[in-house]
Protein backbone atom coordinates (compact mmCIF):
# COMPACT_ATOMS: atom_id res chain seq x y z
CA UNK A 1 0.00 0.00 0.00
CA UNK A 2 1.16 3.61 -0.36
CA UNK A 3 3.44 4.74 2.42
CA UNK A 4 1.52 6.88 4.86
CA UNK A 5 2.94 10.32 5.60
CA UNK A 6 4.21 11.08 2.08
CA UNK A 7 1.20 12.81 0.55
CA UNK A 8 1.01 14.48 -2.82
CA UNK A 9 3.32 12.20 -4.80
CA UNK A 10 3.35 12.83 -8.53
CA UNK A 11 1.77 10.37 -10.93
CA UNK A 12 4.23 7.71 -12.05
CA UNK A 13 5.45 7.90 -15.66
CA UNK A 14 8.46 5.56 -15.51
CA UNK A 15 9.89 2.79 -13.32
CA UNK A 16 13.47 1.86 -12.50
CA UNK A 17 14.43 -1.47 -10.94
CA UNK A 18 17.35 -2.97 -9.08
CA UNK A 19 18.48 -6.45 -10.17
CA UNK A 20 20.23 -8.44 -7.41
CA UNK A 21 17.91 -9.25 -4.53
CA UNK A 22 15.02 -7.58 -6.34
CA UNK A 23 14.58 -9.47 -9.60
CA UNK A 24 16.90 -12.42 -9.02
CA UNK A 25 19.26 -14.24 -6.69
CA UNK A 26 22.07 -16.75 -7.14
CA UNK A 27 21.06 -20.37 -6.74
CA UNK A 28 24.28 -20.95 -4.78
CA UNK A 29 24.53 -18.68 -1.75
CA UNK A 30 27.51 -16.39 -1.23
CA UNK A 31 28.19 -18.24 2.02
CA UNK A 32 28.49 -21.60 0.25
CA UNK A 33 30.62 -20.13 -2.51
CA UNK A 34 33.05 -18.58 -0.04
CA UNK A 35 33.29 -21.86 1.90
CA UNK A 36 34.22 -23.63 -1.34
CA UNK A 37 36.82 -20.97 -2.17
CA UNK A 38 38.50 -21.33 1.23
CA UNK A 39 38.48 -25.12 0.88
CA UNK A 40 39.91 -24.97 -2.66
CA UNK A 41 42.76 -22.66 -1.58
CA UNK A 42 43.51 -24.62 1.58
CA UNK A 43 43.01 -21.54 3.76
CA UNK A 44 41.18 -21.58 7.08
CA UNK A 45 38.12 -19.29 6.75
CA UNK A 46 38.96 -15.87 8.18
CA UNK A 47 35.91 -13.83 7.17
CA UNK A 48 32.28 -14.35 6.20
CA UNK A 49 30.22 -13.44 3.17
CA UNK A 50 28.39 -10.94 5.38
CA UNK A 51 31.69 -9.19 6.13
CA UNK A 52 32.39 -8.95 2.40
CA UNK A 53 28.93 -7.53 1.66
CA UNK A 54 29.36 -4.95 4.41
CA UNK A 55 32.59 -3.63 2.84
CA UNK A 56 32.12 -4.24 -0.89
CA UNK A 57 30.34 -0.98 -1.67
CA UNK A 58 33.40 1.01 -0.63
CA UNK A 59 35.34 -0.28 -3.63
CA UNK A 60 32.85 0.31 -6.43
CA UNK A 61 34.14 3.74 -7.42
CA UNK A 62 37.81 2.77 -7.28
CA UNK A 63 37.73 -0.40 -9.38
CA UNK A 64 36.76 -1.11 -12.98
CA UNK A 65 35.55 -4.71 -12.72
CA UNK A 66 33.91 -6.98 -10.17
CA UNK A 67 37.09 -9.08 -10.10
CA UNK A 68 39.17 -6.03 -9.15
CA UNK A 69 36.63 -5.04 -6.50
CA UNK A 70 36.64 -8.51 -4.95
CA UNK A 71 40.44 -8.70 -4.93
CA UNK A 72 40.80 -5.27 -3.31
CA UNK A 73 38.16 -6.04 -0.70
CA UNK A 74 39.43 -9.53 0.15
CA UNK A 75 43.02 -8.24 0.38
CA UNK A 76 42.00 -5.48 2.79
CA UNK A 77 40.00 -7.89 4.93
CA UNK A 78 42.95 -10.29 5.02
CA UNK A 79 45.26 -7.51 6.20
CA UNK A 80 42.78 -6.41 8.85
CA UNK A 81 42.59 -10.02 10.10
CA UNK A 82 46.36 -10.40 10.33
CA UNK A 83 46.82 -12.28 7.06
CA UNK A 84 48.94 -11.54 4.03
CA UNK A 85 47.14 -9.46 1.40
CA UNK A 86 48.15 -12.05 -1.20
CA UNK A 87 46.07 -14.64 0.67
CA UNK A 88 42.97 -12.49 0.27
CA UNK A 89 43.68 -11.97 -3.41
CA UNK A 90 44.11 -15.72 -3.92
CA UNK A 91 40.77 -16.48 -2.28
CA UNK A 92 39.17 -13.78 -4.43
CA UNK A 93 40.55 -15.27 -7.63
CA UNK A 94 39.37 -18.76 -6.74
CA UNK A 95 35.88 -17.61 -5.72
CA UNK A 96 35.53 -15.68 -8.98
CA UNK A 97 36.36 -18.83 -10.92
CA UNK A 98 33.79 -20.83 -8.99
CA UNK A 99 30.89 -18.41 -9.46
CA UNK A 100 28.54 -19.04 -12.39
CA UNK A 101 26.85 -15.69 -12.96
CA UNK A 102 24.25 -17.27 -15.17
CA UNK A 103 23.13 -19.61 -12.35
CA UNK A 104 20.39 -17.35 -11.02
CA UNK A 105 16.69 -17.72 -10.37
CA UNK A 106 13.97 -15.06 -10.41
CA UNK A 107 12.46 -13.93 -7.15
CA UNK A 108 8.78 -14.87 -6.77
CA UNK A 109 6.67 -12.66 -9.00
CA UNK A 110 9.65 -10.83 -10.51
CA UNK A 111 9.24 -11.88 -14.14
CA UNK A 112 5.52 -11.18 -14.09
CA UNK A 113 6.17 -7.81 -12.51
CA UNK A 114 8.58 -6.79 -15.25
CA UNK A 115 6.13 -7.93 -17.93
CA UNK A 116 3.28 -6.02 -16.28
CA UNK A 117 5.31 -2.85 -15.80
CA UNK A 118 6.77 -2.92 -19.30
CA UNK A 119 3.24 -2.81 -20.68
CA UNK A 120 2.56 0.48 -18.93
CA UNK A 121 5.86 2.31 -18.35
CA UNK A 122 9.31 2.82 -19.82
CA UNK A 123 11.72 0.82 -17.67
CA UNK A 124 15.32 1.27 -16.58
CA UNK A 125 17.61 -1.15 -14.80
CA UNK A 126 19.76 0.57 -12.15
CA UNK A 127 22.27 -1.90 -10.73
CA UNK A 128 25.66 -1.80 -9.02
CA UNK A 129 26.67 -4.96 -10.90
CA UNK A 130 29.29 -5.02 -13.63
CA UNK A 131 27.89 -4.99 -17.20
CA UNK A 132 29.40 -8.32 -18.25
CA UNK A 133 28.10 -10.05 -15.10
CA UNK A 134 24.62 -8.56 -15.13
CA UNK A 135 24.22 -9.41 -18.82
CA UNK A 136 24.58 -13.11 -17.97
CA UNK A 137 21.84 -12.85 -15.35
CA UNK A 138 19.49 -11.01 -17.71
CA UNK A 139 20.09 -13.67 -20.35
CA UNK A 140 19.18 -16.48 -17.93
CA UNK A 141 16.05 -14.58 -16.92
CA UNK A 142 15.18 -13.83 -20.57
CA UNK A 143 15.11 -10.12 -19.72
CA UNK A 144 17.77 -8.93 -22.19
CA UNK A 145 15.24 -6.74 -24.02
CA UNK A 146 13.03 -5.80 -21.09
CA UNK A 147 14.64 -2.45 -20.29
CA UNK A 148 14.71 0.75 -22.30
CA UNK A 149 17.76 1.91 -20.33
CA UNK A 150 20.44 0.13 -18.32
CA UNK A 151 22.66 1.98 -15.84
CA UNK A 152 25.54 0.03 -14.32
CA UNK A 153 26.29 2.15 -11.27
CA UNK A 154 29.93 2.12 -10.29
CA UNK A 155 30.81 1.66 -13.97
CA UNK A 156 28.67 4.09 -16.01
CA UNK A 157 28.29 6.50 -13.09
CA UNK A 158 29.14 6.66 -9.40
CA UNK A 159 27.83 3.68 -7.44
CA UNK A 160 24.59 3.55 -5.51
CA UNK A 161 23.68 5.07 -3.05
CA UNK A 162 24.99 8.14 -4.89
CA UNK A 163 22.03 9.72 -6.73
CA UNK A 164 24.01 9.87 -10.00
CA UNK A 165 22.83 6.53 -11.48
CA UNK A 166 19.21 7.35 -10.72
CA UNK A 167 19.52 10.83 -12.22
CA UNK A 168 21.13 9.32 -15.31
CA UNK A 169 18.31 6.79 -15.65
CA UNK A 170 15.44 9.28 -15.48
CA UNK A 171 17.29 11.68 -17.78
CA UNK A 172 17.62 8.95 -20.39
CA UNK A 173 13.99 7.93 -19.86
CA UNK A 174 13.07 11.61 -20.36
CA UNK A 175 10.87 11.94 -17.26
CA UNK A 176 11.17 14.21 -14.21
CA UNK A 177 12.59 12.38 -11.16
CA UNK A 178 9.42 13.00 -9.15
CA UNK A 179 7.43 11.12 -11.81
CA UNK A 180 9.56 7.97 -11.59
CA UNK A 181 9.57 5.25 -8.94
CA UNK A 182 12.53 3.02 -8.13
CA UNK A 183 11.95 -0.54 -6.93
CA UNK A 184 14.68 -2.19 -4.85
CA UNK A 185 15.54 -4.29 -1.83
CA UNK A 186 18.13 -2.11 -0.05
CA UNK A 187 17.41 0.91 2.13
CA UNK A 188 20.97 2.16 1.75
CA UNK A 189 21.57 1.58 -1.96
CA UNK A 190 18.07 1.93 -3.35
CA UNK A 191 16.00 4.14 -1.06
CA UNK A 192 18.79 6.54 -0.08
CA UNK A 193 20.00 6.96 -3.64
CA UNK A 194 16.65 7.31 -5.37
CA UNK A 195 15.30 9.59 -2.65
CA UNK A 196 18.33 11.86 -3.04
CA UNK A 197 17.63 11.96 -6.78
CA UNK A 198 14.09 13.18 -6.08
CA UNK A 199 12.36 9.94 -7.07
CA UNK A 200 9.61 7.94 -5.46
CA UNK A 201 10.70 4.61 -3.96
CA UNK A 202 9.25 1.13 -3.42
CA UNK A 203 11.01 -1.27 -1.05
CA UNK A 204 10.63 -5.01 -0.72
CA UNK A 205 9.56 -5.91 2.82
CA UNK A 206 11.88 -7.64 5.24
CA UNK A 207 14.60 -5.01 5.10
CA UNK A 208 15.77 -2.46 7.63
CA UNK A 209 13.27 0.27 8.42
CA UNK A 210 15.06 3.59 8.81
CA UNK A 211 14.81 7.03 7.22
CA UNK A 212 14.28 7.98 4.52
CA UNK A 213 11.36 5.59 4.37
CA UNK A 214 9.99 4.43 1.03
CA UNK A 215 6.79 5.75 -0.47
CA UNK A 216 5.57 2.19 -1.05
CA UNK A 217 6.22 -1.18 0.57
CA UNK A 218 6.03 -4.49 -1.28
CA UNK A 219 5.42 -7.85 0.40
CA UNK A 220 6.94 -9.41 -2.73
CA UNK A 221 7.40 -8.58 -6.39
CA UNK A 222 3.95 -10.09 -6.95
CA UNK A 223 2.52 -6.84 -5.57
CA UNK A 224 3.55 -5.15 -8.79
CA UNK A 225 0.90 -7.08 -10.73
CA UNK A 226 -1.23 -4.17 -9.50
CA UNK A 227 1.25 -1.40 -8.65
CA UNK A 228 0.50 0.42 -5.40
CA UNK A 229 0.95 3.83 -7.02
CA UNK A 230 -2.19 3.16 -9.04
For a pLDDT cut of 90, what percent of the chain falls above it? 81
Q: What is the pLDDT of residue 10?
A: 82
Residue 5: inside a domain? no
Q: What is the pLDDT of residue 202?
A: 97
For residues 150 and 67, the model is more confident at 150
Taking residues 59-84, what's their average pLDDT?
90
- Both 68 and 127 in one domain: the answer is no
Lowest mean pLDDT among 16-25, 49-58, 110-119: 49-58
Angle between the N-to-C axes of helices 85-98 and 66-80, in degrees from 0 to 180, rounded to the nearest 10: 140
- Both 94 and 142 in one domain: the answer is no
Could you say which of 69, 98, 127 is where a domain stops?
A: 98
Q: How confident is the model at residue 28 (pLDDT cuts 50, 70, 90)?
A: very high
Q: What is the pLDDT of residue 3?
A: 37
Taking residues 221-227, what's their average pLDDT?
96
pLDDT for residue 63 is more than 90 = no
Condensed to tens digits (0 to 9), the pLDDT of residues 102-150 reads: 999 999 999 999 999 999 999 999 999 889 999 999 999 999 999 999 9
88-107 residues labelled b (16+ CB within 10 A) or e (exposed): bbbbbbbbbeebebeebebb
Q: What is the pLDDT of residue 62?
A: 80
- Both 155 and 216 in one domain: the answer is yes
Condensed to tens digits (0 to 9), the pLDDT of residues 165-194 reads: 999 999 999 999 999 999 999 998 999 999
- Both 91 and 115 in one domain: the answer is no
Task: Report how far residue 147's alpha carbon sits from residue 229's, in angstroms, rounded to the nearest whole number.
Answer: 20
Give pairs for 207-215: CB < 8 Å, separation 24+: 213/3, 213/5, 213/6, 214/3, 215/2, 215/3, 215/6, 215/9, 215/181
How much is the pTM?
0.83
**Total of domains in the chain:** 2
Residue 157: inside a domain? yes
pLDDT for residue 2 is more than 70 = no
pLDDT for residue 88 is more than 50 = yes
Q: By residue range, what is the domain housing residue 38?
A: 30-98
Q: How confident is the model at residue 216 (pLDDT cuts 50, 70, 90)?
A: very high
Could you say which of 98, 129, 153 is where a domain stops?
A: 98
For a pLDDT cut of 70, what percent of the chain falls above it? 94
> Which of 51-60, 108-117, 198-207 has the largest mean confidence?
108-117
Average pLDDT score over the chain: 92
Amino acid sequence: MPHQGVPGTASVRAVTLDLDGTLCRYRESAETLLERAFERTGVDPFFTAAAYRERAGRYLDGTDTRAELREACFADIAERRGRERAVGRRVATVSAGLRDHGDVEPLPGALGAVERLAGSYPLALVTNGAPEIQAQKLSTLALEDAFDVRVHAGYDTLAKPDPAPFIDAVRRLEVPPASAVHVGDSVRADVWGADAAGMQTALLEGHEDRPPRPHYRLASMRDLADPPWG
